[in-house]
Amino acid sequence: MSGKTKIMERKGKDLYERLYLVEVFKGMAVTFGHFISNFLDNSKLYVRHYPEQKPEITARWRGRHRLTKHEDGTMKCVACFMCQTNCPAKCIMIEAGERVDGRTEKMPVRFDIDLLECIYCGYCVEACPMDAIRMDTGIFSVTGDKRSSFVMTLNDLLATPGAFTEEEYKKGGA
């Protein structure tokens, strides 16, 4: 197949096209149009006056963490390190020890979660084979005045109650 190659000249953009002025002004017109329409008729805007109006939190909400207990009051966590291993943010620190309550499993002697590093993905809840860790506290506003107040220890995690019943939690999903 012999053919003659035809060389085409590429037409470059002129200065007018390279500045994108038309597109910039089109974008500004859209933005200004939204501003004017919301300024003149703000009845379509939805504003929640937090903290006077609290948002509704469902059982699917991933809030602050807590550790669950058995019916007899012993903690369900067996220090298997599944949550720590599965955490993409590496914000969970567990140290395992022997159980003092007579069960055959291990138990955590230290269980810390750094809430400033946590991305609240819920992978720790999904990874736990004992259903020991949950994010169903209903707490969405975490405040503190120093970094150490954002590290939840074992006692903090055990003392935090759940905001939903077992049926609501199972129905809503983790």
> Is residue 5 a part of any domain in this protein?
no
The amino acid at 60: R
> Is residue 31 a part of any domain in this protein?
yes
Q: Is-above-0.85 flag for pTM?
A: no
Domain containing 31 equals 13-47
Three-class SS state of 115:
coil
* H or E element that contains 98: strand 92-98
Q: Phi/psi at 83 (nearest 5 deg)?
A: -70, -40
The amino acid at 3: G
> Is residue 161 a part of any domain in this protein?
yes
**Tens-digit pLDDT profile for the chain (174 aa)?**
567 888 888 777 788 777 888 889 999 999 999 999 988 988 888 888 888 888 888 888 898 999 999 998 889 999 999 999 999 999 999 999 998 777 778 899 999 999 999 999 999 999 999 999 999 998 888 889 999 999 999 999 999 998 888 888 777 754
Q: Are residues 109 and 152 in the same domain?
A: yes
Q: Are residues 27 and 105 in the same domain?
A: no
Residue 124 assigned ligand-binding role: yes
DSSP 8-state code for residue 6: P
Residues 75, 94, 153: CA angle, nearest 5 degrees: 70
Residue 91 assigned ligand-binding role: no
Residue 80 assigned ligand-binding role: yes
Q: 10 Å Cβ neighbour count for 4?
A: 5
